[in-house]
Amino acid sequence: MRINKYISETGACSRRVADAWIAAGRVTVNGSTVTLGTKVGEGDVVCIDGQPVGAPKKHIYIALNKPVGVECTTARSVPGNIVNFVGYPERIFPIGRLDKNSSGLILLTNNGDIVNDILRAENAHEKEYVVSVDRPVTDDFLRGMSAGVRILDTVTQPCKLRRAGRCTFRIVLTQGLNRQIRRMCEVFGYKVTSLQRVRIISLKLGDLQPGCWRKLRLAEVRALLPGRAL
């Protein structure tokens, strides 16, 4: 394992910070100062400023049904931040975000290596939402939304929509622009009254109650991250 990854997985710091410590000569393996490309194996003693760091921690994957009002930030100074809300005893962070006024499925982990796998736009991973708006959903609205909408100096990618009620629809996106669904609806004169994410790739919200969280099963992690060593 590369030394920067090893250090980050102990929870001591992020990989970027580990790179800075290595470049500054603060990291040793078995008493010798290392470079950025150094690899470590079982039995090697890794120290930062002469102090040993522990073995990499086991990866944690959590599904949370985020309620409205919780902020998807790791900044503990922000009221209602997601880290304090979950209250997990180890360092974790959210993968992506749901805005404060939205609810539903969000993943949290301590594994920084998998964030880009899930969020990278070119991977075209699906995320599904149930959305309620302030007036009846029309066929023209569904066609217009699914074809792509000009927001934020770009045109959204085509997406899947279907009516779920008089003023409710389901939408499947493969991108994640800032407040994308709300902005798309505004173009057609609709205001979102509630927005809930119900699926990320293969993982469904299911019967997880608002404000509750659970650890993912190994089979669920493998389905989200095929081919990755877990």
* Contact call for residues 200 and 107 (beta carbons, < 8 A): yes
- What token pair was written down for 149? 């909408």
Residues in CB range of 48: below 8 A, 6 or more apart: 7, 12, 21, 26, 27
Catalytic residue from among 19, 99, 113, 117: 99
Q: Name the DSSP letter for residue 222.
A: H
User: Which residues are CB-contacts of 77 (< 8 A; sequence separation ≥ 6)?
Assistant: none
**Dihedral (Cα; 198, 202, 208, 211), 10-degree rounding:** -60
CA distance to 59, 64, 94, per residue, from 110 (Å): 6, 14, 9
99 part of the active site = yes
Neighbours of 61 (CB within 10 A): 23
C-beta separation of 94 from 108 below 8 A: yes
Give the integer Cα–Cα distance in Å for 51 and 80. Answer: 35
Question: Alpha helices, DSSP H only, in the chain?
Answer: 3-9, 15-23, 82-86, 115-119, 139-147, 180-187, 218-224
Q: Any idea which residues carry the catalytic annotation?
A: 99
